[in-house]
Each structure stands twice: as C-alpha cells, then as structure tokens.
Chains A and B, each alone.
Chain A
C-alpha cells in the first residue's frame, strides 16, 4: 500500500495525539483516579498504534501497543496509577517523539527499539496484574455514544442497494457455491479526520477475509471522501459474519460495524434490475478492488489490473475538505504581491492627487481599490496568524520535568493561549519563552526552606500570560520567587568588567537589571544543566529584537519577577504617519503614536538642560528630529512646533517635526545588511512616487 501521500497527515495527527497524551498524562498525575482522562489516554494511544501500524512503523507500533496495554489494565481497574508509571510513560512519549522526528526527517522511524521502555511497561503490567492475559488486542475503540446514535439509521442499509444484472449474477453464483453473502454497514467516528484512509483500511481488512463485490458509495467515491459517515459493502466470504465485522472493527476510528446475511429478495430493485444507480463502470472498479486470487470466477479476473490504476490516481477532492495546507513560502510570495499592489495603489493615489483632474469617477474607483487592497492585506495577514497555543502547550510538561530535576515544587499557570501571532513569529518565540521559564524555575523560585521562611506556599507558581495590546501582543512570564538581587547583579557586572565601580554606583536599579541582558552574564553561583551558562538572556533579547519586539523585566526582591515580551502583530505592512523633517520624508509607525500637538516655543522648559514640555500635567521630554537626523529644520525658531507624542510602555517623548503629510499604509522593506549602523531607522518604504522614505523607530529614540 502506498502510504506516502498520508505521511504528512500522519505526522500531523501523531503530533496532535502526542500533545494530547502529554497533557492528559500530566493531568492524570495530579488526579490518578480520573476515568475520563484514562479513557482519553487509552483512545489516543490506540489511535497512535493504529496509525503507526498502518504506516508500517513497527517499532512505534510495538511501543504504543504496550502503552495501550498498560492503559487498558488501568482502565479495567487492575493497575493503579503510580508516580513511577507516569515517569515511564513520559519517557515513552519522548521515545515516540523521537520516532516521529526521525520519520519527519527521513520518513523512516529509525532503529531504536526502546527495549528498556517496553520492558518497563511490561513490568508495570506484570506487577499490577493478576493472571489473566491482556485483552487489549481485541479491544475496539470505545465510542459507544456515536455507535448507539447511528445504530438506527445504520440499520439494514445494504437492502437499499440497487444491484444490476451482473452483480446479481455474481451474488447468485456465490450463493450457489456455498459462499456467504453479507451486507455490512460501517460507520466512521464523527471525529475522524481521515475518513477516506480509514475506509480504505476497512476495505483492505475486509478483503483479507472475503471479496467486496459492491460498495455504496462506490469505491472511488469513498476514496475521494465523498461519503458522509458511513458506507455499505456487500461481501462474499467463507468466513463467518463475526469474523468480518471484527476485522472491519479493528481499524481505528471506526464507530460501529453492523452486518447481516444478505437476502436478495429483500433488496430494493431486485426485480427492477435495470434501474441500477451506479454506472456500470464504477461498479466494475468496486468488483475489481478485490484480490481475486482464491476466487475462481471469471468476471473479476480481467479487471484487476485495470482497477489498480484508479486506486492510486490522485483524486480530485473538492467535497469535504474545508482546510487547505499551504506552504508558508507561497504565503510569503502572496504577501509580497499584496505589498506590491499596495505600492501600486499608493502611486495611483499620488497621481490622482497631483493632476487635480476632479474626475470623480476616477477618484471613486481609487477609493474602492484602496478598500479592496486594505481588506486583501488584512485577509492575507489573518491567514498567516496562528494561536501561540502550538508553542506554549509543551511548557507544562517541561515545568513538570524541571520540578523533578530541580527538586522544587512548582506549577505553571497559563492564560491567553489563543492569542494569535504571525506564523513566523510563533515559530521563533518558543526558544526565548523556554529560556525565561527555565530561568524562573531555576533562578527565580527559591528552595522549599527559603520559601517557608518567607511565608510563601511551598509550591512555587510560574505564570505565562499572553494578550493583545493595541498593535502588539504581550507575553508575560511571571514567578512568585526570589526576584532579582540587584546587588548581586551589580557586583557580578563589576567583576566581569561590564561596568566600572563608579558607573555602577550611579546606575539606577532598572539599568542594573538590564545588565542581565548583556552577553556572557550569569549570576547563578553554580552552573546547572537547566540554566546558568550565561547564554540565556542576551540570546532571548537578540531573538526578540530580531522579531522587532522588545523584552523588559520588572522585579522586586523577595517577591518575584515579571518578564514582559512585546511583539508587533504584523511585520510587513503597517499604518504610518508620514512626516517631513528638514525636507526629507519619514514614516513613523502609527502604533506608537499617542497624539500630535501644536506647541508654542514659549512652552518649552528646561530640565537638567534638556527640553521638556508640560502636556496636560505630564512632563514629556522633547526630541528634535532635525538634530537626530543631522538636517537643518525648514521652520523658523519662532514658529509653533509640531510635536508627535510617542509612547513606549510607560515612557513618552515628543518628536519635533517640520511638517505633517498624513496617514498612509506602508510596506516595510529592509535596508539590507549593508546599512545597519543606525538604530532608530527600522527600515524603508517606497512611496507612491517611487521615492524611498525611511521608517523611524520611535521606540529606539526613547
């Protein structure tokens, strides 16, 4: 069987099941008696086993099989869940993960048999179990609810099949030869994603025991997923009905299989034979699907070869799928095209405003185009957004392992997993978050004795919160541990020659804490394999900055620290305010702009020799962009100043500009590696007239 076309789906599903198992086993650990959990785990293990078996990954199948056995016993109440067992199970999951990674890279599962794990599993089985042999193998998935529900309409569907002449001939012939003719109705579980693949496996399983002469819908349609949740087969076989039903049920995610001996008289159209529903051609395929080796009939022999072809032919599958997998590169190029379109649209806008033609129809169309491009851009952005859940979902397990390793009690509380971010950002954010969590677990949380002294609960808490804040997504990692020892940081920094003693004396607490982000800084006295190699925080910082984000830390000695990561929602296209400074055009991201103020030169005060303004009770420092950008202002000093108030976190500043142009949607282009010196230029954009304007990063100016 050619399974390569299912490989991707297999990997996806395996991922899902593994993640599910991780989560469930974690829950099981805290609540060993929860039957729902155990059932869920059993189901996931069972599906994994089935999938691995189908794909021919024997080692993976063996391991999951043994896991399944253990769960089956747990479910039957023969084994109690013990902490050691949980450990073994987690190791099994790691091993499965490894198989999966091997398969992903080489489409081969590798050669690690994981015998020790299998042995450990069997030990668990033998320990907790009395004599009886594990009955797991015979076990069908426990989907009683859907089975019961579909039982009624699943009834005797085979009697609705309209046979045509040749089919009836075949059936009669078979009956004459003493073969059994059964009608079988197979109901697929509602949750099943790969209906076609499951159905295909049912076909295969049944064909081992007999010969499928008719299927409804046709075999081709079943393979194309053109069926709802059940299909009906007419089978010729020497085996008993039970045997066949059992082999069909052995396929995972099959909710129910019913069957009975077919009585031709009862079937519809028995006498009106010419009214066949299915075109003769399709029916032939169904017949031909059969492995005709042991069947002495002439009819099937010739179409066998012909039938193999349609089976493998890539089917056009328009019907059921509601999602499409798309290569991220294709999305990137789509995004680029949208960017180009927006640039072209901007040119049109510029052209129309230049010639003052007062052509209202033209302007209307441009506005319409503007509307469309904006919506198009939003849709493309949305397509690229994925919830951060896929990244954070592995953290509870990690914290559990750390808890064991570090011998500290801790719990991770997460919120906002559904917060969405650009796919590329989500892919990159995992490592930095992991660093921060490990940091919190290792350096942040105190040992049990210290916690008791401080009157804190023995169990440390780590929080991971994600939420959207304007144009940004904020992810916070918080712990109720030690907090940062500012003195220790200061001493370490002096010791490492990062700052001089005098410098350190003048530094604010915040500045000192920020030293943690310097390369090669680690305050942990001992190097553990969890953290403390001094490669953590500077990597975190540079990674997040490469995503155009920023990271901040707040800490209170003895009470804990909060790490705040702020990331932009979108990377490629932003709304910006266009301004003129010294005759040059610049763009400032609208996301960081609070207000635009008209300030009289008399309102400027000097504090510590720096210009500030008092804006509605808030003192805001002024930044003259002409000075920053080395240009001459085009305005006379007596004129009122145009000040753009920007905000970053709780810091504010007023940027003094010469002229306002207006708001515009701009496409961010990189300046290339060649120009990298200037920190406050975050990129460039191409204006409607083809000119390049630089984008000012207000955050870097603050």
Chain B
C-alpha cells in the first residue's frame, strides 16, 4: 500500500524520477567555483589545523595532520588544480577522503557549503575527449537550483603524479 502511494506522489511530482538514481554530493567552494564531492567517499570534515610539513614531496602535498591519533597526509586541492595557493580563512576546512588503495587523505577546501541530492538526469557527464585533451579533475557537471556544480573525479585528484 505504502509503496503504491509513494509511487503515486512521485509520479505526481516528477515522472522521470521513478527510474532515476540519486547521488548525494557535498558542495565545496574553491575560489569562485563550486565543486561537488561524492558523499560516499567522504570520511570526515575537520577544521583547518596545524599541518606538519614533509620535506621532498610534491608542492600540492602540504604535509601531515593528526586525526584522532592517526597520521594523515593532506593535500592542497588548489595547488593540485593549478590555482593560486590557499588563503586560510575561518571557513577553510579539510575534507578527509576514504581511499581504498592509498589510505585516507585530506584535501583543503575554501569552504564547505551544503549537501545536495542530484538525480542522474541532472548530471551531465563530460565526454572522454575533453577529459583527455587537458588534465581534468572533473567527471561531470551537476545542475542544482540553476547553479552549476563541477563534480570532482576523486581518483584523478588523489592519484599520484610523479611529474
């Protein structure tokens, strides 16, 4: 019974949504742009704290932090994406990403805004060609309330580049 009524309400609201997959993204700000990170890969969001520098590592690796007794590497998303260095403000946060292969890693973002739910119809995948032509960290673009959210490709961000 309940299921039926739910379907009906959904139909009444938006017919397409019945067959749609939904994804939740955390929306972050980096400079003037908005990015979305798939919530399934996020372990934690912590305030900016003292980062211990590690010598002889790529510039985007800012160092390590102590997260409840665990030592975690932290990288600057800005430096990795070729933007100017981080400006630390009160809104700056470190997002801890769960990674299967390499262990957890933290990324520094300017601000964490909100959680949005996007249906697959609201996500526009980037074609392979654009992704290849320039090193891209974006898998697609989501549309939400008239704004565009670039969806981050966490694999290519956390992947080590030895260039």
Interface residues, chain A, with chain B CB atoms under 8 Å away: 340, 343, 584, 628-631, 669-675, 677-678, 681, 684, 686, 690-694
Closest-by-CB residue of B relative to A675 is B73
Q: State in angstroms the CA–CA spacing of A677 and B58 once bound together.
A: 9
Of A340, A674, A691, which one neighbours B52 at CB under 8 angstroms? Answer: A691
Which of A629, A675, A684 has the most chain B CB within a 10 Å cutoff?
A675
**A627 CB to nearest chain B CB (Å):** 10
Tell me the B108-163 residues at the A interface (CB within 8 Å): 158, 160
Of B56, B73, B101, B103, which one neighbours A630 at CB under 8 angstroms? Answer: B56
Query: Can you list 18 pairs linking A and B with CB atoms under 8 Å apart?
Result: A584-B53, A630-B55, A669-B71, A671-B64, A671-B73, A673-B103, A674-B61, A674-B160, A681-B54, A681-B55, A684-B64, A684-B71, A686-B66, A686-B71, A691-B66, A692-B63, A692-B65, A694-B64
Tell me the B62-107 residues at the A interface (CB within 8 Å): 63-66, 69-73, 101-105
Closest-by-CB residue of B relative to A669 is B71
Of A343, A669, A670, A671, which one neighbours B54 at CB under 8 angstroms? Answer: A671
Q: State in angstroms the CA–CA spacing of A682 and B64 once bound together.
A: 14
Of B58, B66, B105, B158, which one neighbours A690 at CB under 8 angstroms? Answer: B66
Which of B70, B72, B104 has the most chain A CB within a 10 Å cutoff?
B72
Of B53, B69, B71, which one neighbours A672 at CB under 8 angstroms? Answer: B71
Whether B55 and A672, one on each chain, are in contact in the complex, defined by CB atoms closer than 8 angstroms, is no
Q: State in angstroms the CA–CA spacing of A142 and B72 once bound together.
A: 63
B57 on interface, CB distance cutoff 8 Å: yes
Whether A692 and B73, one on each chain, are in contact in the complex, defined by CB atoms closer than 8 angstroms, is no
Whether B102 and A629, one on each chain, are in contact in the complex, defined by CB atoms closer than 8 angstroms, is no
Whether B66 and A692, one on each chain, are in contact in the complex, defined by CB atoms closer than 8 angstroms, is yes
Of A628, A674, A690, which one neighbours B102 at CB under 8 angstroms? Answer: A674
Whether A674 and B105, one on each chain, are in contact in the complex, defined by CB atoms closer than 8 angstroms, is yes
**B98 CB to nearest chain A CB (Å):** 13
Chain A residues contacting B101 (CB-CB under 8 Å) are 673
Of A340, A674, A686, A694, which one neighbours B103 at CB under 8 angstroms? Answer: A674
Q: Contacts A584-B52, A674-B160, A690-B66 known; list 14 others, CB within 8 Å.
A: A630-B56, A669-B71, A671-B71, A671-B73, A672-B71, A672-B102, A672-B105, A674-B61, A677-B58, A691-B52, A692-B63, A692-B71, A694-B52, A694-B54
Chain A residues contacting B58 (CB-CB under 8 Å) are 677
Chain B residues contacting A694 (CB-CB under 8 Å) are 52, 54, 64
Which of B57, B64, B160 has the most chain A CB within a 10 Å cutoff?
B64
Q: State in angstroms the CA–CA spacing of A362 and B63 once bound together.
A: 35
Chain B residues contacting A686 (CB-CB under 8 Å) are 66, 69, 71
B50 on interface, CB distance cutoff 8 Å: yes
**A640 CB to nearest chain B CB (Å):** 25
Chain B residues contacting A343 (CB-CB under 8 Å) are 69
Question: Closest 7 interchain pairs by CB?
Answer: A692-B52, A669-B71, A674-B73, A678-B56, A672-B103, A684-B71, A629-B55
Of B57, B104, B105, B158, which one neighbours A678 at CB under 8 angstroms? Answer: B57
| Interface class of chain A by DSSP | loop
Q: Per-residue 0/1 for B29-58: is the Cβ within 8 Å of any A Cβ (1 yes, 0 no)?
A: 000000000000000000000101111111
Q: State in angstroms the CA–CA spacing of A694 and B65 once bound together.
A: 11
Number of B residues with CB within 8 Å of any CB on chain A: 25
**A674 CB to nearest chain B CB (Å):** 4
Q: State in angstroms the CA–CA spacing of A631 and B73 once bound together.
A: 20
Q: State in angstroms the CA–CA spacing of A694 and B57 once bound together.
A: 14
Closest-by-CB residue of A relative to B99 is A674
Q: State in angstroms the CA–CA spacing of A677 and B98 once bound together.
A: 21
Q: State in angstroms the CA–CA spacing of A226 and B9 once bound together.
A: 72
Q: State in angstroms the CA–CA spacing of A340 and B69 once bound together.
A: 7
Chain B residues contacting A584 (CB-CB under 8 Å) are 52-53
Chain A residues contacting B69 (CB-CB under 8 Å) are 340, 343, 686
Of A629, A630, A670, A678, which one neighbours B71 at CB under 8 angstroms? Answer: A670
Whether A628 and B55, one on each chain, are in contact in the complex, defined by CB atoms closer than 8 angstroms, is yes
Q: State in angstroms the CA–CA spacing of A692 and B69 once bound together.
A: 10
**A524 CB to nearest chain B CB (Å):** 35
Chain B residues contacting A674 (CB-CB under 8 Å) are 61, 73, 102-103, 105, 158, 160
Closest-by-CB residue of B relative to A693 is B52
Closest-by-CB residue of B relative to A628 is B55
Closest-by-CB residue of A relative to B162 is A677
**A612 CB to nearest chain B CB (Å):** 24
Which of B52, B57, B58, B65 has the most chain A CB within a 10 Å cutoff?
B52
Q: State in angstroms the CA–CA spacing of A440 and B123 once bound together.
A: 64
Which of A584, A630, A672 has the most chain B CB within a 10 Å cutoff?
A672
**B50 CB to nearest chain A CB (Å):** 6
Whether A673 and B56, one on each chain, are in contact in the complex, defined by CB atoms closer than 8 angstroms, is no
